[in-house]
Amino acid sequence: MLSKTKNGKMASSKRNPLNRETLLTHLGRRPDEQHGLVNTPVSRASTILFPDLETLQERSQPYLYGRTGNPSSRSVEEIVTALEGGKGTRLTPSGLSALSCALTSVLSSGDDVLVTDSAYEPTRKFCDTFLTRMGVSVRYYDPRIGKGISSLLKPHTRAILVESPGSLTFEIQDLPAISSARGQGDIAIIADNTWATPLFYKPLELGADIVVHAGTKMFVGHSDASLGTITANEKYWHQLHETHYQFGLCAAADDCFLAARGLRTLAIRMGEHRPRALEVARWLENHELVKRVLHPALATHPDHALFARDFSGSGSLFSFAIPRAPQAALAALFDGMNLFGIGYSWGGYESLILPVDLSENRTVTAPDKDEQLIRIHIGFEDIEDLKDDLDAGLRRYRSAMG
């Protein structure tokens, strides 16, 4: 039996907290404030009026100005905060802006940040350009370093960025070990949790302080909106909130609406993405041209034990390696795909495929120069049709190898 609390959130008369499927279905909706409308309408607003001078001066109404929040953004923030178990969440126009805001909220000129070598490529570029220009020392570390990260810490280290699994190469990081190794110092751990979502991975419970999502992916789920989310614990919430406000970051109301809509079905979609991706991954493991499959839920993955310990499920995205061949062979594989689209991003209903080039994206861990890495996202097409499309592409690749 659900009841509404004074702040409009849903609570259960039988148990607390509510299960995630219930949270996804009910949180962020206030039909009683919206003339009974079941979904929170789009709030396109810049100016918000105050009823009197006292309210203006005390800033005592829920919304003050379009940039600082409205019912559309609140609907998403409430859901994500509850799922991640944080103090609060702020939205940004993209995943990269969320990561940028999270990093700058805890770093100042003269500080040092440790970044996993497997980080999202735009994150690396932000660190190597903007943060460096602002006087922050940026150093990269082996994503499998675990407690060994203690040897890299310096007196001015103020942040550690983790991404588990890593972009493109899917290493699992030992977040509890990294958190323990930082000791009692003032070092914030920022975790990118886009792949697993809070349904399958809980970074704040494992020692992280701030969690970031490219909400464009799994949260939106339909490849039609761009969004970033940042959730902080009690310790770092004020810093994050102030930095977000000072940067003037805000997500478009229409994109917030689409994200809220997508979140309603997140559990169902993740429940479908997980087994479908695993089935294709296992099939690729047995393909004669495939050298290895980089999916942490597979028993053959080197970090599978860590994955099984810390994760309750897996995502839609993984990579596989085939023997390196000339560009013509790669073009033969990609240009003939019928179902897999060639495109950035992932997390939507449609399957995607991309070639991976690590030559400029790794500085600590060396890629295998004899391998061609392929990243794929498994959507909701028929699994056998997807296998046929991949098999035909791999056969074209082998034929073009000569």
Task: Answer for the pair 191, 164: CB distance below 8 angstroms, yes or no.
Answer: yes
The whole-angstrom separation of Cα 362 and Cα 366 is: 7
Given 74, 120, 174, 264, which residue is catalytic?
120
Name, in order, each residue with C-beta under 8 angstroms of 140's C-beta and a sequence gap of 6 or more: 114, 115, 116, 117, 119, 124, 363, 364
**Active site (annotated) includes residue 255:** no
Helical (H) or strand (E) element with 374:
strand 371-377
22 by DSSP, 3-state: which? helix
Residue type, 252: A
**Active site (annotated) includes residue 292:** no
Given 111, 112, 192, 303, which residue is catalytic?
192
Q: What is the DSSP letter of 303?
A: T
**Active site (annotated) includes residue 217:** yes
Count other C-beta atoms under 10 Å from residue 81's C-beta: 20
Sheet holding 352-356, edge to edge: 292-294, 317-323, 371-377, 352-356, 341-342
Given 4, 44, 65, 67, which residue is catalytic?
67
Name, in order, each residue with C-beta under 8 angstroms of 231's C-beta and a sequence gap of 6 or more: 80, 81, 84, 86, 87, 88, 89, 204, 210, 211, 212
Count other C-beta atoms under 10 Å from residue 304's C-beta: 15
At which residue do the structure tokens 């009197």 appear? 52
Task: Answer for the pair 202, 51: CB distance below 8 angstroms, yes or no.
Answer: no
User: Closest Cα to residue 118, out of 376, 364, 378, 372?
Assistant: 364
Given 217, 261, 269, 292, which residue is catalytic?
217
> Which positions are annotated as active-site residues?
67, 120, 192, 217
